[in-house]
């Protein structure tokens, strides 16, 4: 009977590269009995508990399971007996040197047929630590997600929708298969805001979001070198976010802004807008509000913002205390100034008045305090 050409896998040790860092691999022949060969022809073997060792200048396969042949007689083989490996002398010496160090072993990786002869692929492996195995699992999951995203990207094609009149004022709308309305993620690509990078950088993420049940609004915007920069780039992303309300099937009440690299700066700015506005209105210059002067007499200056007022030391009033500093609040994208009640001094001839205690005060003012002096 003619031998079959080519390769045919019999058994694979799936945990070999997960539990060990493989430094090198060799192909070895096997010394088998007739019943072992017949059992392997049926594709029955296991390398889960197998390992290799070098003894007296020879290499052996230990604890590999080849089940007994169903039609064998009393001369049937032991399923887990040691089996000699056929290797070159230099390969056996390399294995022996490698296994002399702690944590290293000979790992059987794959058992297969090659041109009708049984072959075993063995590797020189170093045991991995627990954190290495976790890293391998995370890397495997990441690769699986990338493959799934690429597969979904090939199946799904987004709708290109314009939110402005410019060539770059467009966005790709990726929608999931579930019922509408969908929550939507607004995607902003990076690339230093330069024209050589476009929204295709976010296609993989958009396809993955659509596969998970989210709509993705992948925005393009004018970039430096293509009419962008200050303030055109910001005008575009603002208009693109405002266009979410006009998209079919999305829920404008559930919107998340996601930016990659330089797009993260734009995403942070978009999330900080206090209200939707027409393109360009946010970038108009607003003058600083007026601030009280240093003396607190009511005169005003527009050369500094109100949050800077009161930083310098002020002259004491007749009551012996410094006037309270004015304070500022931030709201709706602008400053406003709220001044505390003005505290005026009294002349010695004025009628005595009673000072109202603050909520923190627990005792009456002393006789030598400014408020009780007549």
Q: In sequence order, what DSSP letters do the residues of 142-185 get, joined into one string?
A: HHHHHHHHHHHHHH--PEEEESSSSTT-EEEEE--SSPSPEEEE
List the end-to-end C-alpha distance of the chain, in Å, as a whole number: 127
Which CATH superfamily is 159-283 part of? Alpha/Beta hydrolase fold, catalytic domain (3.40.50.1820)
Neighbours of 364 (CB within 10 A): 10
- In terms of pTM, does the model score above 0.75? no
Domain 7-128 in this protein, CATH class: mainly beta
Measure the CA–CA gap between 17 and 155, rounded to whole angstroms. Answer: 33
| Amino acid 11: pLDDT | 92
The residues that bridge with 7 in the sheet, in sequence order, are 114
| Domain residue extents for the chain | 7-128, 159-283
Walking along the chain (374 residues) 10 residues at a time, the average pLDDT comes out as 75 88 92 92 89 93 92 87 94 92 91 92 88 81 80 72 92 88 93 89 88 91 87 89 90 90 89 57 41 41 40 46 46 38 47 43 44 38
| Amino acid 231: pLDDT | 84
Q: Which of these, 293, 274, 291, 271, lies nearest to 282 by C-alpha position?
A: 274
């Amino acid at each position: 009977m003619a031998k079959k050409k080519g390769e045919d896998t019999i058994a694979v040790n799936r945990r070999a590269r997960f539990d060990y860092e493989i430094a090198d691999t060799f192909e070895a022949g096997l010394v088998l009995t007739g019943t072992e060969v017949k059992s392997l022809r049926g594709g029955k073997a296991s390398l889960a508990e197998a390992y290799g060792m070098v003894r007296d200048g020879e290499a052996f396969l230990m604890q590999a399971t080849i089940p007994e042949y169903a039609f064998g007689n009393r001369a049937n083989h032991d399923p887990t007996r040691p089996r000699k490996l056929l290797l070159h002398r230099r390969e056996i010496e390399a294995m022996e040197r490698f296994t002399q160090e702690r944590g290293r072993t000979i790992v059987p990786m794959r058992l297969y047929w090659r041109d009708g002869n049984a072959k075993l692929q063995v590797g020189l492996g170093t045991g991995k630590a627990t954190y290495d195995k976790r890293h391998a699992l995370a890397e495997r999951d990441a690769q699986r997600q990338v493959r799934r995203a690429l597969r979904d990207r090939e199946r799904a094609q987004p709708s290109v929708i314009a939110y402005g009149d410019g060539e770059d004022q467009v966005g790709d709308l990726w929608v999931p298969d579930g019922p509408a309305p969908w929550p939507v993620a607004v995607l902003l690509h990076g690339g230093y805001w330069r024209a050589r990078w476009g929204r295709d950088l976010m296609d993989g993420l958009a396809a993955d979001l659509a596969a998970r049940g989210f709509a993705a609004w992948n925005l393009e915007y004018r970039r430096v070198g293509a009419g962008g920069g200050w303030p055109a780039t910001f005008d575009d992303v603002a208009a693109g976010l405002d266009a979410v309300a006009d998209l079919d099937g999305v829920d404008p009440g559930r919107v998340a802004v996601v930016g990659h690299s330089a797009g993260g700066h734009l995403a942070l700015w978009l999330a900080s807008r206090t209200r939707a506005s027409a393109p360009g209105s946010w970038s108009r210059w607003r003058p600083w509000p007026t601030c009280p002067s240093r003396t607190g007499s009511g005169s005003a200056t527009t050369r500094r913002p109100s949050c800077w007022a009161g930083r310098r030391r002020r002259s004491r009033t007749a009551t012996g205390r410094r006037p309270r500093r004015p304070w500022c609040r931030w709201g709706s994208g602008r400053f406003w100034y709220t001044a505390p009640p003005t505290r005026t001094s009294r002349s010695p001839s004025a009628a005595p008045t009673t000072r109202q205690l603050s909520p923190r005060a627990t005792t009456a003012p002393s006789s030598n305090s400014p408020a009780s002096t007549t």
